[in-house]
């Protein structure tokens, strides 16, 4: 594997390899000195075009536990605010010869684009509303620890699907691991054609009982430029996961940060069914496994830098 | 005061050309035969039995051996020449050079420039510049509303006296029905076709591609086809009510074809165009997030493509228009959602359609030629023809030539062509526009001329 750009390009075997590696790293987090020298001398660059505390710190922690050097580059307060293009920023930072770039942007396909411009391994930490592959991997990891296997499990993903890269990556990852996925949300927040990803689409929580796992999505106020539901009050009345709706045998997940009182009621966040903090914990070991997968061992030769300037006729290029 | 000629002709001198034993095909004039064709003094001088015409004086002879095709050159009623203000993308010279390379003898330029073409002085200066620089004749459509803002009519009557062919707010719809109605009423005074970009911004808002299976998989906000078809139906009804003449630009979906057909059945004075990319590509071509596949309106489904093709064949759609929309490399070399809308199209239009539609049998060559030459007539211009005595607007085409689009670069200043890198069959070798030699393929000197 040269890059981690999407779940779409991973098969079940690759997902299992990463998750199993993460299970081996879990032991490191329990040591007194939480560090192994696996990636000593490697450099990981965190390039974040969107605000993110938990994903970025999770990647930073993962890299440091593997003894890699970490540089954080946030778009705000940098040359990006002076109008530098994504390509110029990436080429500039590439001059420092990072071994991996962890990239988050508000733009679909940006990670893949960047992978064509530089020789570092690219980890997609979220590209617009497209994918967030490490989130899906850590969710698979968390569920495997709880359930042993995801095969045949019924997983309901509830909420704002339209603005969620987590939904897209998780539908693909859960299905690849053998689960049956159902998407639930207000019709205005479920993109037309979403059922073609292979999941069921519903508009009510009526049969929530049948779910083994309830995965609530965050209502993304920050990504909404217009009103998609009449009010948060009405949304909560129809789609909030609360003590009345959640049964004791179900597992409750959420990618965070939680809007208490909107998609989840306070009592379920603190309930024994919730594995939300376990997900955060899984984030570090899964990201360790991803970095290890990409950077450890002999590096395969990668496409040369700036292939872009050579190929005149391919503006925008096409996917290899 | 007499209005100036609607098309501005550049500085090219009339050429002297003898096409020997060429396959002449002009379906409008009923010409389909192997002939000798003599061009000179700006006109088609003679059509005669093959081998019967001899060169005289400085004439350039092209031996066509019955293999090369001579047709009326094409006309594109929808291009963006980006002048003034965006000359880093294209200018009058490079844009018309691209047109000539594609076999076009005339183009109509859109007004979404910087500043917007919405005043007589600007139109005059553009026409002056075109007279100095244009490789093929150019007509201009100034804006319907000032600054394309949709709030106040531009001075349409004065613009007409300065040579405006018609009017368009292309790139934007005329959002308010009331505003469009005023323009349609005012057309009774000043004439000039109103060319309309149909898009309801409250439906298309924020979208970068067609709404459907692919946009759902990619997580990109989609533009529903009803954004185009509902606005088109509204404007057709307005045109019918005011008995006004409107032209619908770049149709993209089945519902819009149906709306145009229904408007024509009512007897309303409407016409429509379709682009080569909407005839040949679909939303599936967007999956790779190649920014050259990002255009307005977006590429739709296979079913929409078939409806457009059927509409072109049965005449619901009157003509082909490229919507040639050049953008600089660094503007397109960004994430898909950030990229500007548009593809270039002049240099590949005929080859892409011949290769993609005529060769597989989706459309007959004569019908394609009719649709590629009809764009000017819709704006009141005489159609190009091979008839003797008429102005020489001729494309000489090698239907067997295989090439890769963009292999030797582009005449356009920009390279954002959605067909770039495709292997195509059919290549324009020579374009004569308004009697002048506008384009001669580099290979020709070796291949056949004397």
pLDDT tens digit sequence for B353-384 = 999 999 999 999 999 999 999 999 999 999 99
Is B334 in Cβ contact with A87 (below 8 Å)? Answer: yes
Percent of chain A with pLDDT over 90: 79
pLDDT at A304: 41
Q: What is the ipTM of this complex?
A: 0.87
Q: Which of A193, A225, A226 sits opposite B213 (nearest CB)?
A: A193
Q: Mark yes or no for CB contact A315/B333 under 8 Å.
A: yes
**How near does any CA of chain A get to the CA of B444, in Å?**
24
- Strands B74-79 and B69-72, bridge-based pairing: unpaired
B406 contact residues in A (CB cutoff 8 A): 313
According to CATH, the topology of domain B17-70+389-447 is Urease, subunit C; domain 1 (2.30.40)
Antiparallel, parallel or unpaired: β B423-433 and B436-440:
antiparallel
Ranking A224-233, B20-29, B317-326, B335-344 by mean pLDDT, the lowest is A224-233
Clarify whether residues A144 and A275 are in a common domain.
yes
Chain B residues in contact with A196 by the CB 8 A cut-off are 213, 216-217
How many CB atoms are located within 10 Å of the residue B34 CB? Answer: 15
Q: How confident is the model at residue B443 (pLDDT cuts 50, 70, 90)?
A: confident
**Chain A residues close to B211, C-beta within 8 Å:** 191-193
* B292 reaches A (C-beta below 8 A): yes
Whether residue B216 contacts residue A162, with contact meaning beta carbons closer than 8 Å, is answered with no
Of A130, A193, A317, the CB nearest to B290: A317
Residue B210 CB-density burial (10 A; 0-12 exposed, 13-18 middle, 19+ buried): buried
Confidence of residue A223 (pLDDT cuts 50, 70, 90): low
Portion of chain B with pLDDT greater than 90, in percent? 96
A107 and A142 both lie in a single domain: no
Model confidence at B224: pLDDT above 50: yes
> A144 CA to chain B: closest CA distance, Å?
26
Residues 233-292 of A with CB under 8 A from B: none
Q: Which residue has the tokens 């917007």?
A: B116
CA distance A209 to chain B (A): 27
Residue range B77-89: average pLDDT?
97
pLDDT at residue B27 is higher than 70: yes
The phi, psi pair for A293, rounded to 5°, reads: -60, -40
Report strand pairing: B104-109 vs B74-79. Answer: parallel
Instruction: Establish if A85 belongs to a structural domain.
Output: yes
Q: Which of B323, B355, B398, B441 is catalytic?
A: B323
How far from B416 is each of A286, A314, B111, B332, CA to CA, in Å?
Answer: 40, 8, 20, 7
| A125, A140: one domain | no
Q: Which residue of A has its CA nearest to B216?
A: A194
Of the candidates B287, B291, B415, the beta carbon closest to that of A313 is on B415
For residue A70, the model assigns a pLDDT of 96
Three state DSSP letters for A67-126? CCEEEEEECCCCHHHHCCCHHHHHHHHHCCCCCEEEEEECCCCHHHHHHCCCCCEEEEEE
A309 Cβ under 8 Å from any chain B Cβ: no
Whether residues A192 and B217 touch (CB distance < 8 A) is answered with no
More confident residue, B447 or B139: B139
The pLDDT tens digits for A180-214 are 999 999 999 999 999 999 999 999 999 999 999 99
The percent of residues in chain B predicted with pLDDT above 70, rounded, is 98
Q: What is the mean pLDDT of chain B?
A: 96
Interchain CB distance below 8 Å, B216 and A312 = no
Q: Quick check: A159 pLDDT over 50?
A: yes
**Is the residue at A76 inside a domain?**
yes
pLDDT tens for B183-212 read 999 999 999 999 999 999 999 988 999 999
> Are both A88 and A191 inside the same structural domain?
no
Which helix (H) or strand (E) segment is B270 a member of? strand B270-274
Whether residues A213 and A274 fall in one domain: yes
Residue A82 shares a structural domain with residue A18: yes
At A288 the pLDDT is: 97
Q: Which of B227, B333, B412 to mutate to test the interface with A (most CBs of A within 10 A)?
A: B333
pLDDT tens figures, B242-288: 999 999 999 999 999 999 999 999 999 999 999 999 999 999 999 99
Instruction: Check CB contact of B201 with chain A, cutoff 8 Å.
Output: no
Q: How many CB atoms lie within 10 A of CB A193?
A: 17
Residue A7 inside a domain? The answer is: no
Query: Whole-angstrom Cα distance, residue A296 to residue B103?
Result: 56
Query: Does the annotation mark B323 as catalytic?
Result: yes
A-chain CB neighbours of B290 within 8 Å are 316-319
> Does the pLDDT value for residue B450 go beyond 50?
no
* pLDDT value at residue A317: 42
Integer CA distances (angstroms), B33 to A11, B24, B27, B37, B63, in order: 60, 5, 11, 11, 16
CB contact A228 to B (< 8 Å): no
- Among A47, A110, A308, A313, the strongest candidate for a mutation testing the B interface, having the largest count of B CBs within 10 A, is A313
Pairing of strands B31-40, B246-248: unpaired
Domain limits, chain B: 17-70+389-447, 73-379
Asked if A218 reaches chain B (Cβ–Cβ under 8 Å), the answer is no
Whichever domain contains A90, its CATH number is: 3.40.50.1370
- For B81-177, list the strands marked E by DSSP: 104-109, 138-140, 166-168
What is the count of structural domains for chain A? 2
Is the pLDDT confidence value at A104 over 90? Answer: yes
Question: In terms of domains, do A112 and A156 share one?
Answer: no
A262: tokens are: 């909107």
Number of H helices, E strands in chain A: 10, 9
What is d(CA B125, CA B73) in angstroms, rounded to the nearest whole number? 27
Q: With an 8 Å Cβ cutoff, is A160 touching chain B?
A: no
d(CA B86, CA A109): 28
Residues A192 and A270 in one domain: yes
Number of cross-chain residue pairs from A and B with Cβ atoms under 8 Å apart: 108
Q: What is the pLDDT of residue A30?
A: 83
- Asked if pLDDT for residue B52 goes beyond 50, the answer is yes
The 10s digit of each residue's pLDDT in A284-296 is: 999 999 999 999 8
Q: Say yes or no: A172 and A207 in one domain.
A: yes
Domain range holding A96?
12-132+283-310
Q: Which residues touch B364 (CB under 8 Å, ≥6 apart)?
A: B358
Residue A289 shares a structural domain with residue A272 = no
Residues A214, A167, single domain; the answer is: yes
User: Would residue A102 count as lying in a domain?
Assistant: yes
What confidence score (pLDDT) does residue B58 get? 86
pLDDT for the residue numbered A220? 75
Residue A306 predicted with pLDDT over 50: no
At the topology level, CATH places domain B73-379 in: TIM Barrel (3.20.20)
Asked if B215's CB is within 8 angstroms of A191's CB, the reply is yes
**Among the listed ranges A115-124, A221-230, B86-95, B385-394, which one has the minimum average pLDDT value?**
A221-230
Query: Is the CB of B215 less than 8 angstroms away from the CB of A193?
Result: yes
CA-based nearest distance B207→chain A, Å: 12
Residue A230 lies in a domain: yes
Q: Do B330 and A191 lie within an 8 Å CB cutoff?
A: no
Residue A302 has pLDDT above 70, yes or no: no
């Amino acid at each position: 594997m040269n890059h981690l750009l999407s779940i779409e390009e991973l098969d079940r075997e690759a997902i299992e390899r990463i998750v199993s590696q993460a299970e081996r790293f879990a032991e490191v987090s329990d040591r007194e000195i939480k560090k192994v020298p696996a990636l000593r001398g490697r450099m990981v660059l965190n390039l974040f075009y969107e605000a993110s505390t938990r994903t970025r710190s999770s990647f930073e922690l993962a890299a440091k536990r593997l003894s890699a050097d970490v540089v954080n580059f946030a778009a705000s307060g940098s040359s990006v605010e002076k109008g530098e293009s994504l390509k110029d920023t990436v080429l500039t930072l590439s001059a420092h010869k990072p071994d991996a770039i962890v990239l988050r942007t508000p733009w679909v396909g940006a990670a893949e684009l960047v992978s064509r411009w530089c020789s570092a391994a690219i980890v997609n930490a979220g590209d617009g509303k497209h994918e967030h592959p490490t989130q899906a991997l850590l969710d698979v990891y968390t569920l495997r620890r709880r359930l042993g296997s995801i095969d045949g499990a019924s997983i309901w993903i509830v909420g704002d699907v339209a603005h969620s890269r987590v939904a897209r990556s998780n539908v693909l990852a859960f299905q690849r691991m053998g689960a049956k996925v159902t998407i639930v949300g207000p019709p205005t927040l479920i993109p037309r054609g979403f059922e073609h990803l292979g999941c069921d689409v519903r508009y009510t929580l009526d049969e929530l009982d049948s779910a083994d796992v309830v995965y609530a999505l965050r209502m993304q106020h920050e990504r909404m430029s217009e009103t998609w539901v009449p009010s948060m009050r009405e949304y909560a009345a129809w789609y909030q996961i609360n003590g009345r709706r959640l049964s004791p045998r179900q597992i409750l997940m959420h990618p965070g940060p939680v809007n208490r009182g909107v998609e989840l009621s306070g009592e379920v966040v603190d309930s024994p069914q919730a594995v939300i903090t376990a997900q955060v914990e899984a984030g570090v070991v899964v990201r360790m496994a991803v970095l290890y997968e990409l950077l450890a061992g002999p590096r395969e030769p990668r496409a040369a830098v700036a292939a872009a300037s050579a190929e005149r006729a391919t503006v925008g290029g096409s996917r290899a | 005061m007499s209005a100036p000629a609607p098309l501005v002709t550049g500085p090219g001198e009339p050429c002297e050309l003898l096409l020997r034993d060429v396959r002449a095909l002009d379906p409008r004039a009923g010409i389909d035969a192997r002939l000798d064709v003599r061009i000179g003094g700006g006109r088609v001088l003679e059509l005669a039995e093959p081998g019967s015409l001899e060169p005289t004086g400085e004439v350039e002879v092209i031996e066509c051996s019955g293999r090369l095709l001579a047709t009326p050159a094409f006309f594109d009623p929808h291009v963006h020449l980006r002048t003034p203000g965006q000359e880093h993308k294209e200018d009058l010279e490079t844009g018309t050079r691209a047109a000539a390379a594609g076999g076009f003898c005339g183009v109509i330029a859109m007004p979404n420039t910087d500043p917007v073409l919405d005043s007589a002085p600007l139109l005059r200066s553009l026409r002056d510049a075109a007279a100095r620089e244009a490789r093929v004749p150019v007509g201009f459509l100034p804006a319907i509303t000032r600054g394309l803002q949709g709030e106040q009519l531009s001075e349409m009557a004065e613009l007409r006296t300065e040579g405006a062919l018609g009017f368009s707010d292309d790139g934007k719809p005329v959002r308010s029905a009331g505003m469009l109605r005023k323009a349609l009423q005012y057309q009774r005074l000043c004439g000039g076709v109103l060319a309309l970009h149909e898009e309801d911004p409250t439906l298309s808002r924020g979208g970068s591609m067609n709404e459907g299976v692919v946009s759902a998989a990619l997580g990109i906000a989609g533009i529903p086809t009803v954004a185009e078809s509902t606005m088109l139906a509204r404007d057709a009804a307005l045109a019918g009510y005011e008995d006004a003449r409107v032209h619908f630009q770049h149709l993209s979906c089945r519902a819009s074809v149906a709306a145009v057909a229904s408007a024509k059945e009512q007897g309303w004075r409407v016409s429509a165009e379709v682009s080569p990319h909407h005839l040949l590509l679909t939303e599936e071509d967007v999956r790779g997030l190649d920014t050259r596949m990002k255009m307005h309106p977006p590429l739709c489904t296979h079913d929409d493509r078939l409806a457009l093709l059927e509409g072109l064949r049965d005449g619901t759609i009157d003509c082909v228009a490229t919507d040639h929309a050049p953008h600089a490399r660094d503007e397109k070399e960004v994430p898909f959602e950030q990229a500007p809308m548009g593809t270039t199209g002049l240099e590949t239009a005929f080859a892409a359609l011949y290769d993609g539609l005529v060769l597989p049998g989706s459309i007959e060559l004569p019908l394609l030629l009719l649709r590629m030459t009809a764009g000017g007539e819709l704006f009141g211009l005489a159609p190009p023809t091979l008839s003797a005595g008429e102005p020489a607007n001729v494309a000489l085409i090698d239907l067997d030539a295989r090439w890769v689009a963009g292999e030797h670069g582009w005449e356009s200043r920009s390279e954002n062509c959605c067909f770039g890198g495709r292997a195509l069959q059919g290549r324009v070798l020579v374009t004569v526009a308004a009697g002048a030699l506008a384009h001669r393929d580099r290979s020709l000197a070796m291949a056949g001329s004397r």
